[in-house]
């Protein structure tokens, strides 16, 4: 679990309110409690979003240099809740790990396929490594990553 820039901004705002607000004002405590509740609710939502689904990757293992490789992701949601705000990070030779593949909204029990292409930088055998799936909370305050093979 990792707080995003928005999460750290919220924590800074909470600290600023605590330092600047007079302690005799009861409204400030309601505002602080609401902001803390917002942060506390976002962390489990980001964690639960990466649980309960599976990703399987279909791809060729031998390629020619400069050829486009079509990689198909088979995604299945096995949980009861809808999965949203998911991104797939694949570490391929010549492809930055910071280039995410957005995954579609998955209803309970739904299966989908996502196809993306990648240009081979060299010919030969490619060993696909472990990928990771990342989820952001609905307000973008927390982020959770989960490795997938």
Q: Which residues contact 8 (CB under 8 A, 6 or more apart)?
A: none
pLDDT score at 96: 58
From first to last of the 149 residues of the chain, give the pLDDT tens digit: 778 888 889 889 888 888 887 777 788 888 888 888 988 888 888 877 777 778 888 887 777 777 888 888 888 888 887 777 788 877 766 665 657 787 888 888 888 888 888 777 777 777 677 777 888 777 778 777 777 65
Give me the phi and psi of 73, to 5 degrees please: -105, 125
Residue pointed to by tokens 């309601």: 30
So what's the pLDDT on residue 122?
A: 74
Provide the b/e sequence for 83-122 (b: ≥16 CB within 10 Å).
bebbbbbbebeeeeeeeebebeebeeeeeeeeeeebebee
**pLDDT of the residue at 105:** 81
Tokens of 27: 């409204």
Prediction pTM value: 0.64
Residues 6+ apart with CB under 8 A from 118: 68, 69, 71, 92, 94, 95
Q: Using CA atoms, how far apart are residues 89 and 107, in angstroms rounded to an integer?
A: 21
Give the model's pLDDT for residue 18: 84
């Amino acid at each position: 679990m990792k707080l995003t820039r928005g999460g750290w901004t919220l924590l800074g705002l909470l600290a600023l309110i605590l330092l600047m607000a007079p302690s005799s004002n009861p409204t400030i405590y309601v505002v602080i409690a609401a902001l803390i509740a917002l942060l506390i609710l976002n962390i489990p939502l980001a964690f639960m979003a990466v649980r309960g689904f599976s990703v399987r990757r279909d791809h060729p293992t031998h390629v020619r240099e400069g050829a486009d490789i079509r990689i198909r992701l088979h995604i299945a949601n096995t949980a009861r809740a809808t999965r949203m705000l998911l991104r797939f990070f694949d570490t391929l030779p010549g492809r930055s790990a910071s280039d995410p593949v957005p995954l579609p909204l998955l209803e309970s029990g739904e299966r989908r396929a996502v196809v993306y292409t990648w240009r081979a930088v060299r010919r030969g055998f490619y060993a696909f490594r472990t990928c990771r799936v990342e989820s952001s909370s609905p307000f973008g305050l927390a982020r959770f990553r989960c490795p997938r093979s």
